Amino acid sequence: MDTQAILENQQKYLWPSHMTLYGQPLPLARGDGMYLYDVEGNRYLDFFGGILTVSVGHCHPKVTEALTRQVQTLVHTSTLYPHENHVDLAEKLAQITPGRLQTSYILNSGTEANETAVMLAKAATGAQEVIALRHGYSGRSALAMSLTGQSAWRIGGTQILGIKHAMNPYCYRCPLKLTYPACGIACAEDIEDLIQTTTSGRVAAFLAEPIQGVGGFVTAPPEYFEIATNIIRRYGGLFICDEVQTGFGRTGKHWFGIQHWDVEPDIMTMAKGIANGSPIGVTIATPEVASKLEGLTISTFGGNPVSCAAALATIQVMEEEASPDHVEEVGTHLRQGLEALGEKYPLIGDVRGMGLMQGVEMVRDRETKEPAGKEIAHLFEATRERGLLIGKGGLYGNALRISPPLVATKDDVDQALEILDYTFAEVQEMV
Ligand SMILES: Cc1ncc(COP(=O)(O)O)c(C=O)c1O
């Protein structure tokens, strides 16, 4: 099928609500390592990694081999029957996750993982209310959309009651108009007031991403999570850390984003990068917390042996070729390059993030911080034409999300920076 036929069928048979990053959707045909190819055979350097999912490069041979072997042996079990891959993956996750996290529920997506985490927190604490963060993104179910802190992703006004949204630690656009560190991390301290004034005084959980992904890679200051989780625990709640985007070495140095803040979650959710693109989500908890869920649970596709095989192979490849140390080294190179672009182009208002999860917020004017909407749209079309794929996010849709597969090298980063440099030069002229 050529581009036109795919786009015609998309328009005819898929919901118009499917989001696209470009004026015209980009139909893909195949992937190989750091590259994607469209149906016309054009090659793109992938610096979005399938929304931070393709951790070890497209169609990595070791992951493909593990998938093929499992597909030829047994495709489906359901959670009714234990399988070697299922328990092996759970054991591996217990080894690499921080603190006392040990027992997993393996599902199919990040949304399901967050649903399951909140269900568990409510069961474990006996409380019903949950604190989430403004600008956060938790998925697409009714509960996940209610946890989400961006109106664009709370479609149809669906509202699960009992969720309160705290201010997010967005230093570039401080919700309290303060400046770090003189602010005393007032946004975190305000969680206590939020609990005292808008809840019954007992909360089940605080759910937060270490770095807000869809929120535009908003990165909390070093003190934030300790203050926030201390408050939550004083009011009986658990800390659910959503590592769907930040997990599996993405932020460099550690396996999980929250380890940069040295805080231990009671429950952690994961998806995306764990299996290099095979559908999977996981809710891991401490044994004490997990044991509080009374009754029986079942999931038809949960613990799927094929997805678990992909996850085990992906983690092994990360250990061999894309360790958190590698990500830190290449991520630092990327960060330095982006900061250098920031010196050159006033359109760049902020560079933030960690490891290979770097955000660039584009503004029309550094004083007013007016979001550069038209300019980012132009930058997307031009980078695509030059063979580079990147992502975007943020409440105002003006933050670039630069997050290549973790196997990216410094040479890959240099290629991407070169394309960004040309393109920023062109877009800067428009302002
Ligand atoms: C932080 C975070 N949590 C949860 C989700 C939902 O995951 P999924 O799309 O796999 O349901 C996403 C998806 O982007 C996410 O970024």
Whether the per-residue pLDDT at 430 is higher than 90: the answer is: no
Whether the per-residue pLDDT at 370 is higher than 90: the answer is: yes
Closest CA to 108 of 297, 321, 304: 304
Domain stop point among 321, 340, 361: 321
Verify whether ligand 1 is closer than 6 Å to residue 277 (CB atom): no
Residue 202 confidence class, pLDDT cut points 50, 70, 90: very high
Report CA-CA distances (Å) from 312 to 119, 275, 298: 27, 7, 22
CA distance linking residue 50 with residue 207, whole number of Å: 24
pLDDT for res 248? 98
pLDDT for res 431? 80
Domain stop point among 282, 301, 321: 321
Mark whether 238 and 256 lie in a shared domain: yes
Mark whether 15 and 118 lie in a shared domain: no
- In ligand 1, the atom with minimum distance to the C-alpha of 136 is 1
Report CA-CA distances (Å) from 366 to 216, 281, 345, 374: 17, 39, 11, 16
Residue 185 confidence class, pLDDT cut points 50, 70, 90: very high
Q: How far is the CA of 211 from the centre of ligand 1 (A)?
A: 13
- In ligand 1, the atom with minimum distance to the C-alpha of 114 is 4
- For residue range 255-278, list pLDDT tens digits in order: 999 999 999 999 999 999 999 999
Query: What percent of the chain is modeled with pLDDT above 90?
Result: 98
Mark whether 85 and 177 lie in a shared domain: yes
Q: 3-class SS at 169?
A: coil
Distant-in-sequence, close-in-space partners of 300: CB < 8 Å, separation ≥ 6: 78, 79
Match 């350097």 to its residue by tokens: 45
Report CA-CA distances (Å) from 45 to 141, 147, 358, 412: 32, 33, 16, 8
pLDDT for res 56? 98
Strands (E), 50-102: none
Mean pLDDT to the nearest integer, 372-398: 97
Domain stop point among 321, 354, 376: 321
pLDDT for res 268? 98
Task: Give the chain's domain count.
Answer: 2
Mark whether 299 and 411 lie in a shared domain: no
CA distance linking residue 63 with residue 48, whole number of Å: 19
Mark whether 235 and 376 lie in a shared domain: no
Residue 157 confidence class, pLDDT cut points 50, 70, 90: confident
Mark whether 316 and 330 lie in a shared domain: no
Mean pLDDT to the nearest integer, 147-164: 94
Verify whether ligand 1 is closer than 6 Å to residue 318 (CB atom): no
User: Which of 138, 243, 268, 403 to mutate to test ligand 1, by most ligand atoms within 8 A of the CB atom?
Assistant: 138
Mark whether 216 and 239 lie in a shared domain: yes
> Cα-atom radius of gyration of the chain, to the nearest Å?
21
Measured over the CA atoms of residue 309, residue 311, residue 312 and residue 313, the dihedral's sign is: positive
Residue 316 confidence class, pLDDT cut points 50, 70, 90: very high
Whether the per-residue pLDDT at 190 is higher than 90: the answer is: yes
Do residues 150 and 215 lie in contact, with contact meaning Cβ atoms separated by under 8 Å? yes
Do residues 79 and 107 lie in contact, with contact meaning Cβ atoms separated by under 8 Å? no
CATH number at residue 83: 3.40.640.10
Q: How far is the CA of 401 from the centre of ligand 1 (A)?
A: 15
Residue closest by Cα to atom 8 of ligand 1: 110
Find the angle CA(142)-CA(148)-CA(152) to the nearest 5 degrees.
90
Mark whether 310 and 354 lie in a shared domain: no
Mark whether 192 and 331 lie in a shared domain: no
State the residue range of the domain holding 241: 63-321
Distant-in-sequence, close-in-space partners of 47: CB < 8 Å, separation ≥ 6: 388, 389, 390, 402, 403, 404, 408, 416
